[in-house]
A = this chain, B = another copy of it.
């Protein structure tokens, strides 16, 4: 499978990376992550080039990681800095090293040409470390190709069928708005529900919710699969104006061709100091993504066998798939462009 290489992917929540080396497979590559003594994050190939030992089982000496099998020591840039069994250090004895930037509580990794790793290209998830917001998050392993998760989020019409907690009952006074906006390679979907009675999820986050409210939701997608989910409820009670806002980070990073990491977080602008509520919100979110979306995507992947490209299997496409299809086309274009650029490089 061809992944987009020159792009920022979420490798981990910053909080996952410590002085204890962390093993994670991204884009079919085994990597090891750890923090230097100054707190900076290091991302290296997770496989020792000598005898293919798992580097995450090694030991940190300062900023130097020693292989668990024969003790070869590698510096934070990946080169071997010490061979305890002799003076020979062949130049090939190095681990690949990958740029990492920690921003918005996220460890972003660049798996392509390091010279192009411009932090200015990191997508904006600033709500997730904004002091006005409270954030909870996690990582869900998904047994399905990563684009299936983008498809899922770019067509929120599924919430009515897959998520009991988000189901809107029949109501002639409730109306809906759908739209798809495109700005360059960024797609934003609009899934608004007007004049809604509080559904189960609203009652949970807003126990004294008004009798009627507007729900503004939608997803901002940026390649390869970094999405910002907007959840915004506005009271329609003119005597008590109020609103509640949640920004969801939905960051999907391929693990293998047919599995991925789903990094999720909710940042909320209400009940920020209510830790018990935050914990429950996190648990509910994780449960919905795991038991409902994740389980469905695993079933879909199972129906696709070893294939990872849904489109190549000729699904019947509906108008509601338009955003997902556009996202797949943009990604395809970017990957092709990257491959063209790579083959055009002087030898």
Binding site for B on A (CB under 8 A): 30, 47, 49-54, 57, 66-71, 83-86, 88, 90, 92-93, 151, 155, 157-158, 160-162, 296, 299-300, 302-304, 310, 313, 315-321
Q: How far apart are the CA atoms of A315 and B160 in the complex, in Å? A: 53
Q: CB distance A315 to B161 under 8 Å?
A: no
Q: Which residues of B contact A52 (CB under 8 A)?
A: 300, 303-304, 310, 313, 315
**With A30-B303, A68-B296, A296-B68 in contact, is A50–B315 under 8 Å at CB?**
yes
Q: CB distance A315 to B51 under 8 Å?
A: yes
**Oligomeric state, in copies:** 3
Q: Which residues of B contact A157 (CB under 8 A)?
A: 70-71, 84-85
Q: CB distance B54 to A316 under 8 Å?
A: no
In the complex, which residue of chain B has the Cβ closest to the Cβ of A296? B69
Specify which of A68, A161, A296, A315 lies most central, judged by the most chain B CB atoms within 10 Å of its CB: A161
Specify which of A51, A157, A296 lies most central, judged by the most chain B CB atoms within 10 Å of its CB: A51
Q: CB distance B54 to A299 under 8 Å?
A: yes
Q: Which residues of B contact A317 (CB under 8 A)?
A: 50, 90
Q: Which residues of B contact A321 (CB under 8 A)?
A: 50
A216 nearest CB across to chain B (Å): 19
Q: How far apart are the CA atoms of A161 and B61 in the complex, in Å? A: 14
A143 nearest CB across to chain B (Å): 14
Q: Given A84-B160, A86-B318, output 6 extra A-B contacts at Cβ < 8 Å.
A: A50-B315, A54-B300, A66-B161, A69-B296, A85-B157, A90-B316
Q: CB distance B90 to A318 under 8 Å?
A: yes
Q: CB distance A51 to B300 under 8 Å?
A: yes
A233 nearest CB across to chain B (Å): 23
Which of B70, B303, B315 is A155 in contact with, Cβ under 8 Å?
B70
Q: How far apart are the CA atoms of A208 and B155 in the complex, in Å? A: 70
Q: CB distance A310 to B51 under 8 Å?
A: yes
Q: CB distance B51 to A151 under 8 Å?
A: yes
Q: Which residues of B contact A50 (CB under 8 A)?
A: 315-318, 321
Q: How far apart are the CA atoms of A157 and B72 in the complex, in Å? A: 11
In the complex, which residue of chain B has the Cβ closest to the Cβ of A47? B303
**With A67-B161, A69-B158, A161-B66 in contact, is A88–B315 under 8 Å at CB?**
no
A59 nearest CB across to chain B (Å): 9
A170 nearest CB across to chain B (Å): 11
Which of B53, B92, B319, B320 is A316 in contact with, Cβ under 8 Å?
B92
Q: CB distance B310 to A85 under 8 Å?
A: no
